[in-house]
Structure 1
Amino acid sequence: MGKVSTRHIRQLKGKRPVVCVTAYDSIIAGLASEAGIDLILVGDSMGTTHLGFDTTVPVTVPMMLQATASVVRAKPDALVVADIPFAIIRRSPDFVLETCARFMQEAGADAVKIEGGEDVAPTIALLTASGIPVLGHIGLLPQQVYQLGGYRKFGKTEAEKEQLIRDAQALEKAGAFAMVGEMIAPEAAAAVSAATGVPLIGIGCGVDCDGQVLVYTDLLGLTPGYVPAFAKQYANLRETVRNAFSTYAEEVRERKFPS
């Protein structure tokens, strides 16, 4: 297939769904690439899946740079997109540009992902004009969990659906090559997809999006505790890994390993 580009992702609109998963290290990134995944998102979801935080808010730029560089070192054919962490987009345009450039120059990312709609479109336009590809993110914005007071689905009212359409169109106009839609009511997600010319990659948004993304620990059955209802589990590696550790411990204690 060769290295996936932002142009390739954009051109999948209307042809076939974009396949996206998260990854935070070179091992998982390499496996995802071997499986033919189109887009690897180095998500700030790393905070809750790997670092033990309750939300994504504590994740910092240095943490994301390190994870992104690890993913890039796997040399995946998939497009590598790095999440820009909490509150960065709300700082000065020059600071945002400098930070996003670091993800491409220092970590080797192919693009960045930024949460927000109409309100952040001017900054995204600056980034894309500067040569930094941007994956947008509308609907539920996890970085705003404290301001929202929790997680919920968006687009259930006509007013919210119209706002989501405006957000998506503003991001497209600003140069975003695609966008993630999170926890959007399926009917609204379908309307957003129909109203824009770039792919809407859904998570918890139903089947009528232009692609799907899952957190890989949910997909592989590694997530402890709560797993979102929309996240299909394709393996139960948590049990497999626990059993492997248990067998190893038993063999060491019984002097069966090393043999």
Structure 2
Amino acid sequence: MSVAKKDYKRITTKSLIEMKENGEKISMLTAYDFTMAHIVDVAGVDVILVGDSASNVMAGHETTLPITLDQMIYHASSVIRGVNRALVVVDLPFGSYQSDSKEALRSAIRIMKESGAHAVKMEGGAEIKDSIKKILNAGIPVMGHLGLTPQSIYKFGTYTVRAKEEAEAEQLVEDAKLLESLGCFAIVLEKIPAHLAEKVAKSISIPVIGIGAGGGVDGQVLVIHDMLGMNNEFSPRFLRRYLNLYEAMTGAIGQYVTDVKSKDFPNEKEQY
């Protein structure tokens, strides 16, 4: 018997758990500024991730590592002002939580107080459990992130699929169960085998949101610049482009340049 889709006026961590229980898939996209966040929110996306991927798509860095806590707070503050319905989750950036649980708590508190965000996201399992505990004990919701963890890219040395070998797969399952037991409200699984992601989703009661993790999980997340085709150089197997904005935007801008050069813009109706 199918359950009717509930009309959520505001998405909370509790809403996401209800969605999993009811078999309703969770939609999640990134946003980094007011205008894009407002569009994503109005379109009905459940969760907006202010990702440290801003380091790549907004600042042009090769990895997510350079972005700072202050920069993440700036992006998160901009996003929050454009959102009325979605749950806004903010990545704790590299270096703000890994080495010291007290520093992790200070970082999370700054994000929540200064941006108005609803939750934070952290990469890792057992190795960061003390930081997760301290943040959760302060009443701050935490979303976990396992599998390919981009903040550890220099440790991995590659962006290839993770947890293909049995030992790493077993550790990932253990870490997922640990994150649930600690009190995380959801977990992102990035670039792991679909069968393993489905196994994890079925073994825990909190939502599992995938990126490159197949369709057997509880929801999906993509980077907004990728799914809208603004970035034409990134084409992993898991990415579905819903628009080709790169082509549309370069065409429109090129036409503007032509119109200005030819004195077609502005015309008589476009001036005072």
TM-score interval (norm. to shorter) = over 0.9
Number of residue pairs matched by the alignment? 259
Cα displacement (A) at 1:69: 0.3
TM-score by length of structure 1 reads 0.97
Match among 27, 44, 52 for residue 19 of structure 1: 27
Structure 1 residue 158, shift from structure 2 partner = 2.1
Give the structure 2 partner of residue 111 of structure 1: 119
Selected match of 2:204 from 196, 201, 222: 196
1:67-78 to 2 correspondence within 5 Å? Answer: 67-78=75-86
2:5 matched to which residue of 1? none
Q: Supply the distance in 2 between the matched residues of 1:147 and 1:242 (Cα, whole angstroms).
A: 37
Out of 161, 164, 173, the residue aligned to residue 165 of structure 1 is 173
SS in 2 for 1:160: helix
Say whether 1:133 aligns with 2:141: yes
1:86–1:143 Cα contact (<8 Å) kept = yes
Segment drifting more, 86-95 vs 247-256: 86-95
Shift of 1:254: 0.7
**Residues of 2 paired with 1:151 and 1:189: CA distance?**
17
Q: Give, in whole Å, the separation in 1 of the partners of 2:130 and 2:182.
A: 7
Q: Which residue of 1 aligns with 2:15?
A: 8
Q: Within 2, Cα distance between the matches of 1:144 and 1:224?
A: 25
- Given that 2:226 and 2:234 are in contact with CA atoms closer than 8 Å, whether structure 1 keeps it comes out as no
Alignment map for 1:95-110 (pairs within 5 Å):
95-110=103-118
- 1:3-82 to structure 2, matched below 5 A, reads 3-14=10-21, 15-82=23-90
1:241 match: 249
3-state SS of paired residue (2:115)? coil
TM-score (norm 2): 0.93
CA offsets 1:7-42 (integer angstroms, 9 cap, x no match): 111221142111000000111111111111000000
CA drift at 1:75? 2.7
Question: Which of 1 and 2 has greater Rg?
Answer: 2
Partner of 2:3: none
Q: CA deviation at 1:87?
A: 2.2
Structure 1 residue ranges (4+ consecutive) displaced by more than 2 angstroms after TM superposition: none
Paired-residue identity, %: 40
Q: Which consecutive residues of structure 2, in runs of 5 or more, have no partner in the other structure?
A: 1-7, 268-272
**Shift in Å at residue 161 of structure 1?**
1.7
Q: Distance in 2 between matches of 1:210 and 1:118?
A: 23
Residues 146 and 188 of structure 2 are in contact (CA less than 8 Å); yes or no, is this contact kept in structure 1? yes
Whole-angstrom distance in 1 between the partners of 2:83 and 2:31: 13
**1:121 partner amino acid:** K
Query: Quick one: which of 257, 260, 263 aligns to 1:252?
Result: 260
SS in 1 for 2:121: strand
Q: Judge conservation of contact 1:29–1:76 (CA < 8 Å) in 2.
A: no
Give the residue type in structure 2 aligned to 1:35.
Answer: A
Q: Which amino acid aligns with 1:40?
A: I
CA RMSD of aligned residues (A): 1.0
Q: Secondary structure at the match of 1:100?
A: helix
Question: In the alignment, residue 8 of structure 1 is paired with which amino acid?
Answer: S
Q: Which residue of 2 aligns with 1:219?
A: 227
Contact 2:98 2:131 in 1 (8 A): no
- The answer as to whether partners of 1:122 and 1:174 remain within 8 angstroms in 2 is no
SS at match of 2:97: helix
Structure 2 counterpart of 1:175, which letter? G
